[in-house]
Amino acid sequence: MATPITPDTKDWTWVLERPCPECGFDPATVGRGDLGPAIRDSAAGWPLRLGEADATRRPRPDVWSPTEYACHVRDVHVLFAQRLGQMLSDDSARFANWDQDATAVEERYDLQDPAEVGAALVEAAEVVAALYDSVPDDAWGRRGVRSNGDVFTVESFGRYHLHDVVHHWWDVRAT
């Protein structure tokens, strides 16, 4: 079993208000119509990166390998598609807590096949991107509440989602 990663307990919602100094993501530059295409673009490089010889190697024992990051990004797309669907169909959408670190251990991200992960990531990105593409104009203000009380609109949720996946691509490229 790989060394457990120190859980990330930071509140990343601030990225909806200002650019991320690490990855450079700027929420002010992302329009509603940009979300679907940007999600697709964010997924495009993963299969190639996961085909590299070091795809399963951690750069340090306490930093995920590219494959582990890709597993997380894949699962983020799946989770956000579920939650976006919930926001669009439920006036009182509430999201259960998701422990990403427990998921990484339980699903053995460290042992997953990079090629399979890359294909699944691209597929999951397409599914959620198509959902963003189909949001009616009058639904962008619909709300969802995270288990910690954070309130999102469909629009802010999309920007938060996009930052997450852009940031993890930056994490992998930075290693």
Kindly report, residue by residue over 128-157, the tens digit of the pLDDT. Answer: 999 999 999 999 999 999 998 999 999 999
Architecture of domain 31-174 in this structure: Up-down Bundle (1.20)
Comparing 101 with 84, the larger pLDDT belongs to 84
Question: How high is the pLDDT of residue 62?
Answer: 87
Centroid of chain to Cα 61: 22
- Compute the average pLDDT of residues 98-107: 90
- Over range 59-82, report the average pLDDT: 95
Sorting pLDDT into bands at 50, 70 and 90, what band is 175? low
DSSP the chain: -PPPPPP----GGGGGTS--TTT---GGG--GGGHHHHHHHHHHTHHHHHTSTTTT--SSTTS--HHHHHHHHHHHHHHHHHHHHHHHH-TTEE-----HHHHHHHTTGGGS-HHHHHHHHHHHHHHHHHHHHT--GGGTT-EEE-TTS-EEEHHHHHHHHHHHHHHHHHHHHH-
pLDDT tens across 2-33, in order? 677 777 777 788 889 999 999 999 999 999 99
pLDDT band at 174 (very low <50, low <70, confident <90, very high): low
User: What predicted TM-score, i.e. pTM, was given to this entire model?
Assistant: 0.93
pLDDT of residue 5: 74
pLDDT, mean over the chain: 93
* Residue spans per domain, the chain: 31-174
The model's pLDDT over 35-67, given as tens digits with 9 standing for 90+, comes to 999 999 999 999 999 999 999 999 998 899 999
Contacts of 153 (CB under 8 A, 6+ apart): 140, 141, 142, 143
Q: What are phi and psi of 152, to 5 degrees?
A: -120, 150
